[in-house]
Amino acid sequence: MKLLKSVILTFMVIISLTTICQNENKEFGKEFFVKGQEIFTDDYNVEYINVIDTFLLAKLRSGDYIFSLYNIKTGKKITEIAFRGNGPNEFPISLSFTGQYEKENGSIYFWARALSTNKLYKINITESIKQNRTIINDEYKYSPICFFDNVFFIDSANLIGRTSNLSPHINRLLIYNPTNDKIVKTVEPFPKVKNTYSDNLNFIFYRYNSLYNSSLGLKPDRSKIVSAMNMFNRIDIFDISGNLLNSYIDKNTLSDDLIKEYLSAKQNNVDKVNIKLYYQGIYASNSFICVVYQNRLYYDYNQSIPVYIRIFNWNADPICEIKVPDYLQYISIDEKNGMMYGSAVIDEKIFKYDISSILDEIKTGSKWNCLFLA
């Protein structure tokens, strides 16, 4: 009986590992190409933009306000949101959009977090327009020990995000209960790399922890979260309890030899290590995940290169790639009108791409449709 139980347990573990790693080295099915139109050419103050339902939310580089809101169809500015400052009804300069928005009770909201004050805000766009001032519906304070780089709201007892590289003990994910002021769960960094090189905090923050920087996306129904890693060529899908569900691991990921060379190099020689940055900006819908795939040398960040937009479903199956001639860092998609917006922050340009035919093809084609329904 004990032998039978052991065999069954071993078999279940094998099945579990196979399920998680099922997309290793899997090829993308099709490649598209799009050329964009530069927008906001007269407004160099716009750093990047995001689609929020029928609006474009622009993060501003400077000025009295942190955000500007535009009509997505006309491009006309509607209002400004979040006055910069440290007083009542003012917001710190570290405030940024988390990538999460929702429609509820006839209003449209977006979530923004302030790194410097460890706060997460639910901003009511609808009421902010009506009242011509920034309206906050909810506000959550989280402990500084979380070191959140980005964080999403699941419910009043669960915030989930990833820790910053400025954390002494970085995690892939961290779940925090703001009601009880308690860390519920941490997901240890993986792929596992031991730091046997230095206990100096600068080394830990800017060298070792940088291995685990990633972009996060939350499925709008709040059931899953995707982590697209910068230095490891992989994406990982988790449930909101922090359990790993699926992964896509590219065959050209970071090797053990390159990791060793990167971590052991002296500070003035780090830029000679041929380490790459793979994934950066991310957009997540209920149907699919879009990630900016740069595949460039890490220290050539200021060299403009064309990028790919890789599209996956929520099982981490690769769907297709879109080649873009611009050096994008962030993307956002207007699914209703078939438009993609790209922010080339380093080149100080914003682009708009018509991807309606691509979305139609990957959603209606029989081969792609089965992947989206998986």
pLDDT digits (tens, 9 = 90+) for 50-95: 999 999 999 999 999 999 999 999 999 999 999 999 988 899 999 9
- Report the C-alpha gap between 120 and 283 in whole angstroms: 20
301-307 long-range contacts, Cβ below 8 Å, gap at least 24?
301/277, 301/346, 302/346, 304/344, 304/346, 304/347
Q: Kindly state whether residue 220 falls inside one of the protein's structural domains.
A: yes
Q: Is residue 317 situated within a structural domain?
A: yes
Kindly state the helix (H) or strand (E) to which residue 252 belongs, with its residue range: none
Separation between Cα atoms, residue 226 and residue 246, nearest integer Å: 10
Supply the DSSP string of 40-89, one letter for each residue: -TT-TTEEEEEEETTEEEEEESSSSEEEEEEETTT--EEEEEEEBSSSTT
Asked whether residue 62 is assigned to any structural domain, the reply reads: no
Specify if 196 maps to a domain.
no
Overall average pLDDT of the 314-340 stretch: 96
Decide if 60 is inside a domain: no
DSSP output for 110-152: EEEEETTTTEEEEEEHHHHHHHTS-EEEEEEE--GGG-EEEEE
Cis, bond preceding 191 (omega within 30 deg of 0): yes
Domain extent at residue 303:
1-33+213-374
DSSP letter at 104 equals E
Residue 362 zone, left/alpha/beta (φ > 0; ψ -120 to 50; rest): alpha
Assess contact for 187 and 176: CB atoms under 8 A. no
Flag whether 269 is in a domain: yes
- Say yes or no to pLDDT of 181 above 60: yes
Judge whether residue 139 has pLDDT over 90: yes
State whether residue 265 is helix, strand or coil: coil
Interval 9-58: pLDDT, tens = 443 433 344 344 456 667 787 899 999 999 999 888 999 999 999 999 99
On whether the CB atoms of residues 67 and 49 are closer than 8 A, the answer is no
- 233 in a structural domain: yes
Q: Is the pTM of this model over 0.85?
A: yes
Is 106 inside a domain boundary? no
**Alpha-carbon dihedral sign for residues 361, 363, 367, 372:** positive
Per-residue pLDDT, averaged over 146-160, amounts to 96
- Reduced to 3 states, what is the DSSP secondary structure of residue 178? coil
More confident site: 173 or 371: 173
Output the CA angle 33-36-39, nearest 5 degrees.
165
Domains held by the chain: number: 1
